[in-house]
Every structure is written in structure tokens, then in C-alpha cells.
Chain A
Amino acid sequence: MAMQMLPPDWPGNFWAHWAIFAVAVLVFVLLMVIVFIWFERRAMAVMQARLGPNRAGPFGLLQSVADALKILIKEDIIPARGDKVVHWLAPVVAFVPVLLVFAVVPFRGGALLADLNIGILYIVAISSVTTVGVFMAGWASNNKYSTLGAMRQVASVVSYEIPVVLSLVGVILLAGSLSMQQIVAAQDIPFILLQPLGFLLFFTGALAEINRAPFDLTEADSELVAGYMTEYSGMKFGLFFLAEYGEALAISAIVTTIFLGGWRGPVLPDWLWFLVKVFIVFFVIVWVRTTVPRLRIDQLMALAWKFLFPLALLNLLITAIEILVWPAASLWVFVPINIAIAIVLVVLWSRFFKLGWGKVEV
């Protein structure tokens, strides 16, 4: 498929380009979050032998719109002795970085807001700002559950940042550049085949960072009621909800761009490929969330430091060796080798990886 690349400042001058794409990103994110919420509830429902939303609109499509309206109307309670300004600011600080991440994601045929040559570095930097928002929420709600939840979020994000970044570095080595455009261009073979271990590490780490599925410690409803979101209601809670699903959308978009070859695909038009892959990745996230129980906070930490982090280093080492020693060899040769290495490493490492049992003599 000939890669028709859109010129970077497509409609001529810079400001028109920026305006069009800013609006496109905003509409894309909000619309996709609404569809994601419906998609998750529907997919989980079918997997749990029930129906899911089917009352509002055909197949319940307007359900998330109805939820959004309901949340808009709901009264907005601010805890009495909480820190009012920080309480008001927290959802904004949590949601805005999620929007910023989409500036560098190439949607179709290389159309993106800003073709930064440090695409991935920008994504990793911006996505860790949400943690500040979450901690502000935890602190400002003057509620024990929120503080516990916020501290757990900070601890988990800090410890999962490193395996995530290291697994991305493996991809950068292969693609030869940080910019998302180049990465998509370099993916004649989707990097998921070349970097299976990198994909596993990134996916697990990303799940922990957006605290979904087995790592949803921060708003573990069975322990901390709703974690840092306990004291929020009305539109502020809506923003946090938007942020959570926005992050899931961001992670799916990043995984599609980096590991599944972005908008490139044989038959279908390129924008459709991007959407299909994003939905597939999100389905996997929902699928894991439906099945797997939750990890305890100290197991979460131990998994990050004792399992993901060493494996990420090893993966980086192996990729580097491969690139240096056989630059010329066609990449298809490496696919079976890398998959085999990934399996061996996981088996070997999990042989003697054992968590402390967490009972503290008190």
C-alpha cells in the first residue's frame, strides 16, 4: 500500500493546521470515551452471561450519554474541611495530560497534530502528570480512604514507570527514531512479533499505570470504597471517569501505534485499521479486567521491581545485541528467535520469583 504521507502542515499555515487537529483530537477523544464506556459495559456483560445496557437508545448506545448528563446535573459536594482549591483543581490536572498525549498519535496516513521527533519521550513525560492530579485529589478530600488510595496510586505509578520506559526503548532501537511517524514507517513487521517480551512488559506496566484490571488498587471498591474518587461527585467525578477511560484510550492508541503498526494494514482504509486495532487492544483490557482478581499493594510493587524491571533490562540487552551483531539480516529471522527468548525468560524468571508473604510481625 503506497504510503501517501500527508505533508506535516497540511492546510498551509501553521495555525489552521493546529486548529483543525486540536478540534479533531478533542472530538476524537470525547467521542471515543463515550463509545468505550458503552463498549466496556456491553463486552463485560456478554462475558458475564447478561445483557448490559440496552434501554437508552438502540442497543443502549446512548447509555453513556445519559450517564454524562446525569453526572452534569448531580450536586457537586466539596468536603467541609478539605482543601477546596486543590479539590477543585485535581480533576483538571488529572484529565488534561490525557488529552495532551493524543497530540503525537498518528491517526491516518500520518495525520497528527505535532510530528515531534521525540514522540515517545513526550508521551511518557506527559502521562505521569496525571499522578499529580490523583494525589491532589487524595490529599484534598480529607478522607482516610482517599489518602490510602492516592498513596497507592503514586507508589504503583512510580514503580511501573521504569519497566514501561525500558520496554519502549527496545522498540526505539528497532525503529531508529523516537518520532511516532518513523516508528509506524519502520514497522514493515509489526513490532509485537519482533518484541514479544517488550509488548508483554509494556502492556502489564501500562495496565498498572492507568490502574485497570489486576492492578486497580487505587479505587479498589472492595477495600477503599472508591479510592481517591470517594469524595467526588457531580461533574468532578465525571472528569475523573473521563480521565480513566481517556487513559485507557491513550494506552490502546499507543500500543496500536508502537506494537501493531498504527494505521498500516493490507486491505481496509488506513483510518479504519487504526480504529479496529484500538478496539482490539481495548477489548483485551476489558477481557483481562473481567477475569483476573486484584493484586495486593506489596505484590504489585514486588512484581514491578523483581519481575518486570529485570526482564525489561534483559530484553533491552538482547535487542541491542541483535541490532549490533546482525544489522543486515532480514528481520523475519528474528521473529521466532525473539518469541523463543521471551518464553524462556518468562519461564526462567518466574521459576525463582517469589513474593514476600506480606505478614508483618506487629
Chain B
Amino acid sequence: MTTQTREVVVNTEPFVVNFGPAHPSTHGVFRMRMTLDGEVIVDMEPVFGYLHRGIEKLAEERTYTQVIPLTDRLDYLASMNNNLAYCLAVEKLAGIAVPERAEYIRVIIAELQRIASHLCAVGFFLNDCGAFMTPVLYMLRERERILDLFDMVCGQRLTYNYMRVGGVSQDFPDEFIPAVAKFIGEMPGWLDEYERLLKENEILLARAKGVGILPRDLAINIGASGPVLRASGVPWDIRKADPYSIYDRFEFDVPVGLAGDCYDRYRVRVEEMRQSLRILRQAIKDLPGGEVRSQVPHLIRPPAGEAYGHLEGPRGELGFYLVSDGSIAPYRFHVRAPTFINLTALSDMMRGWKVADAIIVFGSIDICMGEVDR
């Protein structure tokens, strides 16, 4: 990648622009204080906390089951994965076994949620590149199919509150499996059409290739995770590295980018959607019968101790660090939010690029403010 060095002849004086909390493309309330020299970004300082609700303090006065609706509100675009990560942490803490059918149901739901969340990420990223609302609307149409399935399973479209410690709250209705099978059959077709819309578009290539590069060692050093880390060439996926629940029974591969620029992050997310479809096909095929929830008292009282349960969410490694003092409420509830940590290198990735690139780099990290501010 050639960089032209430019000695400043005319001494322009950089001015500070606030890409403020209420800005059309900040995916929520997030402020970027940018010092600009003309169009070029000299420095950028992220400011957040506008959506801070103190979820970690709230969780300390709720029982282990009552915390689940709170985890819905963390990363509201992938709340099934939040529920699942929390339940994995509590099950590790209290040593609760999960029946076979519940494990399969959890994998099916988590992978559907990953596709829905990646659709959001890709749609909003392409919209930030300027394609006027078309990718977002195609994306919403695809995501609508998945939300219908979730509505059928748990009655809600965004805050599901579906997983429980020890399994899931309700079993699938009998028309769910045919609907998912139909979805898995059609989705690759829709995905191909979605890709043909913008995948090789020259203007998108020009805008996204080589822009906002996160080098490999910086990606590891800032603790990035998920598509952001994998796009920089690090094949680290918790489902493969530390397989939780029954992910070791499915074979799928982990797409890895090369250059770590915005285009690679976009490509890695689209490839991951295809891999999720592959997992779904295998999970649907051998879904066993049986119980969906193990015998767990309504007020779970895990032994005093601590546990760190994590899973591979669509945005990265989502972890819950729980400390229990033997009472019915968690003593300390800490969320390892992937997008909060992926933002650490945002200013390094933006320095030197133009204002238009800042929006694309920010969009390609695919943050969710509910999780960043907690």
C-alpha cells in the first residue's frame, strides 16, 4: 500500500469536529472528537457512555434467573448469544448439566442469531459506504425471516429472554423445523443475490479495500476478537479454539481475511454466514428428542466461587465473569464486551484517512452501543 508523504506548505490550522452522539452513521450514541486538517483526520478520540445503564450494578440485586432479561439488553442485535453466554457461565459456576436436545436447540438458535446479526453488520456497513438504503432494505428482508422464526419460538422479536440456566425455556413448536429447513434452503440463494449487488462493485472496492488496516500484531495486542481479529489474519474462533457446548460435533471452517482492511471484514462476515448455514444443516439433521431443560431450582444458589464463561458471538468473544458468594444473587457480574475492546484501536486505524473513510472504518467494526456502554 503506497503512502504519499506530503510536507505541509500552507500551514493550515486543524479544527475539531464532533461526530456527535446524534449522528446518522454512528450506530447508536457514540461520539468521535476528530481533529481534522482539511479532510484528513489528524487525531480521533472516542467518547462514549451515553447509553450507560449500569447493567453490572443492576445484576447484583437480581436472582440468577432475573438477570437473563438484563443480558438481552447488552448487545440488542444478538441477544440470544448474550443469554447463552450468561447461561454457560452460570452452568460452569454451579456445575449444571444440560440435556442433549437443549444443546442442539441452543446451537440452532445461536447460529440463526449469528446470521441475523451479521446481516445487520454487512447491511449497515454497505449503507455507510453510500449505497443509498438498498443493502439495508434487502438485509432487513432476510433478517425478517429469522425474526419470524424467533418470534415463533419465544414470542419476542428483539429481547428474547429464551435461554434459561440448564437449557431453554420452551421447546420448539412443531412447525419450527420445517420453517427453518425452508429458510436454510432459500438463504444461500438470497445471499448470492445480496453479494452480486455489491461484492465486486468497483466503487466499493475503491472505498473499502486497503482502508482502515488493522495489522495482525496490533489486532492481538488490543485483544480484538471476532470478524475484526479474523480479518487481520488470526484464525482465532472460540468455537474451534475452546469448543463450548457441542460445537466440537459440527465441522465448519473459520474464514480468515488477509489484509485486515474494511473489505476483508465485510468478506469475513459474509463467509461466516455461509458457515453458519452449514452448521445449521448439520444441527437440524440430527436434532434428538427429549427434555429441553434440566431440573434446576427456581432460585439457583451456586456454591461460593467464580467462573468465566465465554462464547464466540457475532461481534467477537463475549464473556461473563461471575463471582458468587453462595447467595441467590451474583456477587459480581462483569461482561467482557467484544465491541468495547475492538474500539481500542479505532484512532490508530483512522489516523491519516479522510472523513469519509472514518465512517467506513467505524462501520466495519460493527459496534453495538448497548454492549459498549453497558
B237 within 8 A of A: no
- CB distance A294 to B129 under 8 Å? yes
- CB distance B131 to A361 under 8 Å? no
- CB distance B128 to A222 under 8 Å? yes
User: Which of B158-166, B274-282, B293-301, B352-360 is the interface stretch?
Assistant: B352-360
* Bound Cα distance from A264 to B359, whole angstroms: 47
- CB distance B353 to A289 under 8 Å? no
Q: Scan A285-318; emit 1 where CB is below 8 A from any B CB, else 0.
A: 0000111111111110000000000000000000
- CB distance A49 to B207 under 8 Å? no
* Bound Cα distance from A221 to B359, whole angstroms: 11
Residues in A with CB closer than 8 Å to B23 are 225
- CB distance A223 to B356 under 8 Å? yes
Q: A293-B198, A358-B357, A360-B352 are in contact. Are A50 and B137 (CB under 8 A)?
A: yes
Closest CB in chain B relative to A223 CB, distance in Å: 5
Residues in B with CB closer than 8 Å to A47 are 134
Residue of B with least CB distance to A355: B206
Residue of A with least CB distance to B18: A144
A247 within 8 A of B: no
- CB distance A220 to B137 under 8 Å? no
* Bound Cα distance from A186 to B15, whole angstroms: 55
* Bound Cα distance from A356 to B2, whole angstroms: 8
Residues in B with CB closer than 8 Å to A355 are 206
- CB distance A222 to B141 under 8 Å? no
- CB distance B206 to A295 under 8 Å? yes
Residue of B with least CB distance to A297: B39
A216 within 8 A of B: yes
Residues in A with CB closer than 8 Å to B352 are 359-362
Residue of B with least CB distance to A152: B39
User: When the two chains form the complex, which single residue of B130, B141, B353 contacts A293, counting CB atoms closer than 8 Å?
Assistant: B130
User: When the two chains form the complex, which single residue of A290, A297, A299, A360 contacts B132, counting CB atoms closer than 8 Å?
Assistant: A290
Query: Would you list which residues of chain A between 267 and 299 have a CB under 8 Å from chain B?
Result: 289-299
Residues in B with CB closer than 8 Å to A360 are 3-4, 6, 40, 352
- CB distance A299 to B1 under 8 Å? no
* Bound Cα distance from A48 to B133, whole angstroms: 8
Q: A49-B138, A220-B130, A222-B127 are in contact. Are A293 and B203 (CB under 8 A)?
A: yes
Query: Would you list which residues of chain B between 283 and 317 have a CB under 8 Å from chain A?
Result: none
A214 within 8 A of B: yes
A37 within 8 A of B: no
* Bound Cα distance from A355 to B209, whole angstroms: 12
Closest CB in chain A relative to B35 CB, distance in Å: 10
Q: Scan B199-215; emit 1 where CB is below 8 A from any A CB, else 0.
A: 00101101100110000
Residues in A with CB closer than 8 Å to B201 are 292-293
B100 within 8 A of A: no
- CB distance A148 to B134 under 8 Å? no
User: When the two chains form the complex, which single residue of B4, B5, B138 contacts A48, counting CB atoms closer than 8 Å?
Assistant: B138
* Bound Cα distance from A48 to B135, whole angstroms: 8
Query: Would you list which residues of chain B between 68 and 87 have a CB under 8 Å from chain A?
Result: none
Closest CB in chain A relative to B55 CB, distance in Å: 30
Closest CB in chain A relative to B70 CB, distance in Å: 32
B181 within 8 A of A: no
Q: A148-B39, A221-B24, A357-B2 are in contact. Are A295 and B203 (CB under 8 A)?
A: yes
Query: Would you list which residues of chain B between 117 and 148 have a CB under 8 Å from chain A?
Result: 126-134, 137-138, 141
- CB distance A295 to B25 under 8 Å? no
Residue of A with least CB distance to B7: A361
Closest CB in chain A relative to B88 CB, distance in Å: 37
Closest CB in chain B relative to A217 CB, distance in Å: 8
B351 within 8 A of A: yes
* Bound Cα distance from A216 to B356, whole angstroms: 12
User: When the two chains form the complex, which single residue of B17, B132, B197, B351 contacts A289, counting CB atoms closer than 8 Å?
Assistant: B132
Q: A355-B206, A356-B2, A362-B40 are in contact. Are A291 and B355 (CB under 8 A)?
A: no
- CB distance B354 to A297 under 8 Å? yes
B37 within 8 A of A: yes
B42 within 8 A of A: yes
User: When the two chains form the complex, which single residue of A49, A50, A145, A293 contacts B131, counting CB atoms closer than 8 Å?
Assistant: A293
Closest CB in chain B relative to A151 CB, distance in Å: 9
Residues in B with CB closer than 8 Å to A357 are 1-3, 210
Q: Scan B25-41; emit 1 where CB is below 8 A from any A CB, else 0.
A: 10000000000010111
Query: Would you list which residues of chain B between 91 and 135 have a CB under 8 Å from chain A?
Result: 126-134
Closest CB in chain A relative to B241 CB, distance in Å: 33
Residues in A with CB closer than 8 Å to B15 are 144
Q: A222-B130, A357-B3, A361-B5 are in contact. Are A292 and B203 (CB under 8 A)?
A: yes
Pick the most buried of B5, B127, B206, B353: most chain A CB atoms within 10 A of its CB. Answer: B206
User: When the two chains form the complex, which single residue of B134, B141, B197, B207 contacts A294, counting CB atoms closer than 8 Å?
Assistant: B207
Closest CB in chain B relative to A137 CB, distance in Å: 18
Residues in A with CB closer than 8 Å to B17 are 144-145
Residues in A with CB closer than 8 Å to B1 are 357, 359
Residues in A with CB closer than 8 Å to B3 are 357, 359-361
* Bound Cα distance from A49 to B353, whole angstroms: 35
Q: Scan B347-367; emit 1 where CB is below 8 A from any A CB, else 0.
A: 000011111110100000000
User: When the two chains form the complex, which single residue of A216, A220, A361 contacts B6, counting CB atoms closer than 8 Å?
Assistant: A361
New contact pairs (20) apart from A49-B141, A148-B39, A293-B204, CB-CB < 8 Å? A48-B134, A222-B130, A223-B355, A290-B132, A291-B131, A291-B134, A292-B131, A293-B126, A293-B203, A293-B207, A296-B206, A296-B356, A298-B39, A298-B354, A356-B2, A357-B2, A358-B211, A360-B6, A361-B4, A362-B42
By a beta-carbon cutoff of 8 Å, the part of chain A in contact with chain B is 44, 47-50, 144-145, 148, 214, 216-217, 220-225, 289-299, 355-362
A-B contact pairs, 30 of them (CB 8 A): A44-B133, A48-B134, A148-B39, A214-B130, A214-B203, A216-B130, A221-B24, A222-B127, A222-B130, A223-B25, A223-B359, A291-B131, A293-B126, A293-B129, A293-B203, A295-B130, A297-B354, A298-B39, A299-B206, A299-B207, A355-B206, A357-B1, A359-B1, A359-B3, A361-B3, A361-B4, A361-B6, A362-B40, A362-B42, A362-B351
By a beta-carbon cutoff of 8 Å, the part of chain B in contact with chain A is 1-6, 15, 17, 23-25, 37, 39-42, 126-134, 137-138, 141, 197-198, 201, 203-204, 206-207, 210-211, 351-357, 359
3 nearest interchain CB pairs?
Answer: A294-B130, A293-B129, A222-B25
